[in-house]
Structure 1
């Protein structure tokens, strides 16, 4: 997926409407595919699905991390399931361990495992992952990182994230627009969140499709700065010094903007989401990357052949979920 096409989707380029027939074909093929799949049954464990209906990053990882932390504070035992995009696990289930790397299990599952400290089970057959976790008889609920479009599972609670600065773009489905499924899906989930600074125009656009449901805003913030090679927390640099930053995420510009909001002059280099960095991609001087990129670059950053470690840094993100949201979730799950 090229950044140029993503920009056109969210900018509302007129020529995309010429692709509307292909978007209709996409929806027909999607419906045909879903009709041939085994439908979701009753989940053996309460299931929370956190996903989106758009192509491009919406900030699922910070929300999953924050939700796990909130549930732990309630004394609940939870686990995470993920498809493991970019990894080599296959159908799974495979529980992420300290011996795994991003090439094997995918960058997001590895990051979630490190940030949450709870089991993360990877495999494109999410139903098998849930069944395996149920067999362990150790968990109160399961969180699915993504999966709103996965017909083999149906969340007991479904949360949908929308990028607050881009919304649903031109409102069209792939390839004419960024939508994985029609915007009416927003009325079918239990909660819709926007991530980032609230935008009144986009909020009104979303509310038109939500049929009276409430829209909540989440504002992730850059938190700690750490060294890539050993995860040691370091001070943020002086804002008087320009910084070089890289991002291989769904919406790189938002990461660069977050750095600018901290007062930095940023020279940002965008890469495709889940890009697997090679050592020649990155300079041997100080730069700042995302936590998702750091799990792929740690080995590259560590000292080898009598060379010092690379001085690369990464920034973590945090957000706060309102206690009322957690209470409502547990009420819906019967926990």
Structure 2
């Protein structure tokens, strides 16, 4: 596992020259935008950037879904921008629709669209995705899922999500460590949200709470503890988080299987994971990629963000004020 390599392998020290090159380029790019050597593009609507400092799954997409839902509940028209990592569309930008597949858009845009029904624009160049959203719809605010290091797009609010258990690993840039940017970058962001673990002073605490298990084929819902002979699989940034959730909920899988984040699944490969009488249980992010060929014994476990308290309300208040000021 890559995190084990970063924390224990002496081989990582041989990669320090690459680490310094990565860090140097990263800093130079950011400084070039700050000093105006490179131009940033500012959208006519507020931009909220949800990102992280490390690679891997920190919980950005569930937080984006939560933010969209909260803003929609207050009557705001929300757009979402995603790079569409893992997607292989014929052209960019494009808007996610009812018939868009994960193969075209990647798994996260499909998940966001299905959960929020917000307009979701996909493009590796975020500016193009924003422009496509504005061309196709009227929105009050746009949230970007990832893109903290995409400095070409100006943003009004920056939210960084931290894995509360892994945090920043050994603290070094890639490839010696997990960092896209160093921890000092946190001094310039609007909010720091810690997913799991213990939130430090100045950080907002976030939890991912599981709901009822959902049958991918039929839509039936039931408590996850009622599923029998569970084989658990996860193709997310941190599969162990999903497996830990199952154990916390009282589920003891017969086996757990980890896949790479954004992996593209095929029917033949997944049908071999279970035998007769067994249940295949996966994350909702995995489920969006297998809906069109799901078997009757395939289920997923959705999660909801729990983010409350005065700090969370203050963050939402800041967003509402920003939208009001630009209307």
- TM (norm. structure 1) is 0.86
Deviation for aligned residue 1:90: 6.5
What secondary structure is seen at the aligned counterpart in 2 of 1:187? helix
Among 268, 282, 288, the residue aligned to 2:256: 268
Partner of 1:306: none
Shift of the 90–196 alpha-carbon distance from structure 1 to 2, 3 Å rule, reads: farther
1:299 matches 2:292:
yes
- Pairing of 1:106-117 with structure 2 (within 5 A): 106-117=106-117
Deviation for aligned residue 1:287: 1.2
Partner of 1:210: none
- Asked if structure 2 preserves the Cα contact closer than 8 Å seen for 1:90 and 1:124, the reply is no
- Asked if structure 2 preserves the Cα contact closer than 8 Å seen for 1:57 and 1:251, the reply is yes
What secondary structure is seen at the aligned counterpart in 1 of 2:194? strand
Partner of 2:239: 252
Distance in 1 (alpha carbons) for counterparts of 2:250 and 2:289:
27
Among 319, 324, 335, the residue aligned to 2:305: 319
- Asked if structure 2 preserves the Cα contact closer than 8 Å seen for 1:90 and 1:123, the reply is no
What secondary structure is seen at the aligned counterpart in 2 of 1:282? helix
Superimposed CA distance per residue, residues 127-161 of structure 1 (whole angstroms, 9 cap, x where no aligned partner)? 12212323346110000000001121122001000
Partner of 1:305: none
Partner of 1:216: 204
- Asked if structure 1 preserves the Cα contact closer than 8 Å seen for 2:225 and 2:251, the reply is no
Distance in 2 (alpha carbons) for counterparts of 1:13 and 1:26:
20
Superimposed CA distance per residue, residues 11-70 of structure 1 (whole angstroms, 9 cap, x where no aligned partner)? 354543342221101123335566599531322110001011101100111111111111
Distance in 2 (alpha carbons) for counterparts of 1:296 and 1:89:
15
**After alignment, is 15-24 or 156-165 more displaced?**
15-24
- Asked if structure 2 preserves the Cα contact closer than 8 Å seen for 1:87 and 1:104, the reply is yes
1:21 matches 2:22:
no
- Pairing of 1:187-206 with structure 2 (within 5 A): 187-198=187-198, 203=200
Shift of the 92–190 alpha-carbon distance from structure 1 to 2, 3 Å rule, reads: same
1:331 matches 2:321:
yes
- Asked if structure 2 preserves the Cα contact closer than 8 Å seen for 1:195 and 1:219, the reply is yes
Distance in 2 (alpha carbons) for counterparts of 1:182 and 1:164:
16
**After alignment, is 117-126 or 251-260 more displaced?**
117-126
Partner of 2:220: 232
Moved over 6 A (4+): none
Partner of 2:182: 182
- Pairing of 1:141-152 with structure 2 (within 5 A): 141-152=141-152
Distance in 2 (alpha carbons) for counterparts of 1:116 and 1:86:
21
- TM (norm. structure 2) is 0.88
Distance in 1 (alpha carbons) for counterparts of 2:259 and 2:85:
16
Q: CA RMSD in A?
A: 2.2
- Asked if structure 1 preserves the Cα contact closer than 8 Å seen for 2:119 and 2:133, the reply is no
Deviation for aligned residue 1:281: 2.0
Distance in 1 (alpha carbons) for counterparts of 2:28 and 2:193:
29
Superimposed CA distance per residue, residues 252-297 of structure 1 (whole angstroms, 9 cap, x where no aligned partner)? 0000000100011122100000111112222354111000000111
- Asked if structure 2 preserves the Cα contact closer than 8 Å seen for 1:91 and 1:124, the reply is no
- Pairing of 1:168-179 with structure 2 (within 5 A): 168-179=168-179
1:79 matches 2:83:
no
Distance in 1 (alpha carbons) for counterparts of 2:50 and 2:66:
12
